[in-house]
Structure 1
Amino acid sequence: MKIDGGCHCGAIAYEAEIDPDMVSICHCTDCQTLSGTAFRVVIFASEENFRLTRGTPKAYVKTAESGNRRVQAFCAECGSPIYATSADDGPKSYGIRVGTARQRADLKPRRQIWHRSAAPWLPGIEGLATKEMG
């Protein structure tokens, strides 16, 4: 499925080819803190299937408890998070923030990851499949 989107102010835009069956709710504590909410919804695109069409995001490198380094890319103007990818060499996968996609209404989450960090008060999502990562 082809998607396109960008930041809130329009300074950053992208397009990507994604598999809509891979939309995930991530409950990791990094996503909670970086999104400012209980979880983040992401869809993954390989490097060859993701392209910026306008602007250059600002990047912040976050080192996880595991030691993995992740580039967090966001708009320097409005602060919208756009994607995360690995900071290391090798093929990249882009974790696109579903809220930035124009097609977000069609991108229903199919799984939850890092579920052990989920806020205990979250109602209504327990029926989704869960998978522990890491």
Structure 2
Amino acid sequence: MKIDGGCHCGAITYEAEVDPEKTAICHCTDCQRLTGTAFRVTVPAPESNYKIISGTPKVYIKTGSSGAKRAQGFWGDCGSHLYATSVGDEPKVYGIRVGTSRQREQLVPRKQVWHRSALHWLPEFEGKTTIEEQ
């Protein structure tokens, strides 16, 4: 499925080819803190299928408790989080933030990851595959 989108103010735009069946809810504490809310919804796109059309995101490198590094792409002026990806020379997969896509209504989450960190007051998302970690 082809998607396109961008940051809140429109300075950064992108297009990508994604498999909507791979859309997921992430409950990890990093996603909670980075979004300022209870979870984040992401759809992956291989590097070859993700293209920034305009603008240049700022990148923040987060080192997880495992030592793995993740590049968090965002636009510094309006604060929109656009993606996360690995750091290094290996082929990248971009975790596109579904809320930045114009097709977000069609990107229905199929699974939940890091469910062990889900906030207790959230309703259960029934019918979704649940993975306690990732």
Task: Identify the TM-score tier after normalising by the shorter chain.
Answer: over 0.9
Instruction: Report how many residues are paired.
Output: 134
Q: Is the 8 A contact 2:25 2:40 kept in 1?
A: yes
1:81 alignment partner in structure 2: 81
Alignment TM-score, normalising by the size of structure 2: 0.97
1:110 alignment partner in structure 2: 110
1:97 alignment partner in structure 2: 97
1:3 alignment partner in structure 2: 3
Q: CA deviation at 1:126?
A: 4.3
Letter paired with 1:9? C
Taking only the aligned residue pairs, the percentage that are identical comes to: 63
Alignment TM-score, normalising by the size of structure 1: 0.97
User: In 2, distance between residues paired with 1:19 and 1:127?
Assistant: 19
Cα distance change on mapping 1:2 and 1:94 into 2, 3 Å: same
Q: CA RMSD of the aligned region, Å?
A: 1.0
User: In 2, distance between residues paired with 1:28 and 1:88?
Assistant: 22
| Structure 1 residues without counterparts, runs of 5 or longer | none
Within 5 Å, give how 1:46-61 maps onto structure 2: 46-61=46-61
Deviation string 1:62-90 (CA, Å, 9 cap, x unpaired) is 00111110000101110000000011220
